[in-house]
Chains A and B, each alone.
Chain A
């Protein structure tokens, strides 16, 4: 039976859904209800769908109050950490990019300068950038509670093989036990001259230091194959660094200069 006035347009079904789902504004909903009063079939449909909607919502209403299984919470936490790492990686990438830019500009600037004043200083610059990157990498990963390292010291042999392969140089992991530091593990990081390895150590007080290793190519005339120990004190944390056979090493950590120098000396002696 249709009691609609003759000639009245039928109500589009999408409007019925929108009414049931509360997607119409007050005015449109009111207008539609008026039309429904004259269309029993459509009204019955709306009423049935409304009852259905309520029944479905009731059927599943209690779910969110159920206690969450520990396994799900654990995985959710892990996913949160994965996200934090992913965004840290972005941030780190941003820092690396800006460092690279600074490096490029500095290099260009000092290159100009070096043309007049000799290139001694210019050649030292990549080493300094290397040390800065080491300090940045330290400050990014040192605060990590659960994942300060990618591969833990438990897998030290694997870690060393892996990083050696990626850096293209057989690496040795210095032992700093006598200085109170135990190896936690390491991770692989990007650098502008290829991969970089970061080894993290921690002492009983929870103080962390890192050893950052990677190839350092100097631009301009001739590589910087060797440098003496240098101290970086304008990075996020202080660092002692040096270059040996084209490879850079930086010891970073929030330590007084003499303590850091002593660690650098021990590391150098073992490498």
Chain B
């Protein structure tokens, strides 16, 4: 019997959970939920396939479900009221704390793509599988996430520049 090694997946799962939730406690809860889910969903995992990708998918879906469930609660705080708190100072910042805050300012779906691609160093194809979205959507979310995070870290309001598109930019 070739047993699978789940414990060695824990550090990666925790890291992704932390970047998703931005909170150490919430992250460990999310990992816990993911493992519980794996317990009852093993028959859906194809032996020999990428275990990490499968676990990330479970986690991502759980995260989205939990966010949906919490939406009412989240809506009770107007995110724009927190803008000053969540955004870097006007002269820009490289402080990790500001980065953490700005990251939470990104929409969850954009944040997920950005983190899979950078922190987890996954290929765009892996990200499409985990998030169950087409490649074009991965790329457009990545683009929006990078641009928005850059604006936030530079202390620029989003309205200051036009929405980037993935089309080749116009000359001039």
B3 within 8 A of A: yes
Among candidates A11, A14, A58, A79, residue contacting B35 with C-beta atoms closer than 8 Å? A79
Tell whether, in the assembled complex, residue A82 and residue B118 are in contact, meaning their CB atoms are under 8 Å apart: no
Number of interface residues of A (CB under 8 A): 45
Chain A residues contacting B172 (CB-CB under 8 Å) are 2
- Looking at A67-75, A120-128, A247-255, the stretch in contact with chain B turns out to be A67-75
Tell whether, in the assembled complex, residue A87 and residue B1 are in contact, meaning their CB atoms are under 8 Å apart: yes
Tell whether, in the assembled complex, residue B164 and residue A83 are in contact, meaning their CB atoms are under 8 Å apart: no
- Looking at A47-55, A151-159, A210-218, A234-242, the stretch in contact with chain B turns out to be A47-55
Tell whether, in the assembled complex, residue A52 and residue B11 are in contact, meaning their CB atoms are under 8 Å apart: no
A90 to B124 alpha-carbon distance, docked (Å): 34
Tell whether, in the assembled complex, residue B149 and residue A14 are in contact, meaning their CB atoms are under 8 Å apart: no
Tell whether, in the assembled complex, residue B32 and residue A63 are in contact, meaning their CB atoms are under 8 Å apart: no
A76 within 8 A of B: yes
Among candidates A2, A13, A69, A77, residue contacting B168 with C-beta atoms closer than 8 Å? A13
A10 to B167 alpha-carbon distance, docked (Å): 10
Within 8 A of A (CB), among B26-74: 28, 31-32, 35-36, 38-40, 42-43, 45, 47
A2 to B172 alpha-carbon distance, docked (Å): 6
B23 to A: closest C-beta gap in Å: 13
Tell whether, in the assembled complex, residue B171 and residue A2 are in contact, meaning their CB atoms are under 8 Å apart: yes
Within 8 A of B (CB), among A11-55: 11-14, 17, 21, 23, 41-42, 48-49, 52-53, 55
Given A68-B11, A86-B42, does the pair A56, B35 have CB atoms closer than 8 Å?
A: no
Chain B residues contacting A75 (CB-CB under 8 Å) are 32, 35-36, 39
Tell whether, in the assembled complex, residue B171 and residue A4 are in contact, meaning their CB atoms are under 8 Å apart: yes
A84 to B1 alpha-carbon distance, docked (Å): 7
Number of interface residues of B (CB under 8 A): 54
Tell whether, in the assembled complex, residue B42 and residue A55 are in contact, meaning their CB atoms are under 8 Å apart: no
Tell whether, in the assembled complex, residue B166 and residue A76 are in contact, meaning their CB atoms are under 8 Å apart: no
Chain A residues contacting B10 (CB-CB under 8 Å) are 68, 72-73, 76
Chain A residues contacting B3 (CB-CB under 8 Å) are 80, 83-84
Among candidates B14, B38, B43, B149, residue contacting A63 with C-beta atoms closer than 8 Å? B14
Among candidates A10, A59, A77, A91, residue contacting B170 with C-beta atoms closer than 8 Å? A10
A221 within 8 A of B: no
Tell me the dominant secondary structure on chain B's binding face: helix
Given A79-B39, A88-B1, does the pair A71, B32 have CB atoms closer than 8 Å?
A: yes
Chain A residues contacting B7 (CB-CB under 8 Å) are 68, 73, 76-77, 80
Q: Could you mark each residue 112-139 of chain B with 1 if its beta carbon is under 8 Å from any beta carbon of chain A, else 0?
A: 0011011101011000000000000001
Chain A residues contacting B11 (CB-CB under 8 Å) are 63-66, 68
Given A23-B123, A23-B124, A57-B119, does the pair A76, B18 have CB atoms closer than 8 Å?
A: no
A65 to B164 alpha-carbon distance, docked (Å): 37
Given A17-B142, A76-B6, does the pair A64, B14 have CB atoms closer than 8 Å?
A: yes
B118, B121, B123, B139: most-surrounded residue (chain A CB, <10 A): B118
B105 within 8 A of A: no
A9 within 8 A of B: yes
Taking Cβ atoms with an 8 Å cutoff, the residues of A that contact B are 2, 4, 9-14, 17, 21, 23, 41-42, 48-49, 52-53, 55-60, 63-66, 68-69, 71-73, 75-80, 82-84, 86-88, 91
Interchain residue pairs with CB less than 8 A apart (16): A2-B171, A2-B172, A9-B168, A13-B168, A17-B117, A21-B121, A48-B150, A55-B94, A55-B96, A56-B19, A59-B100, A64-B14, A72-B14, A72-B31, A75-B35, A80-B5
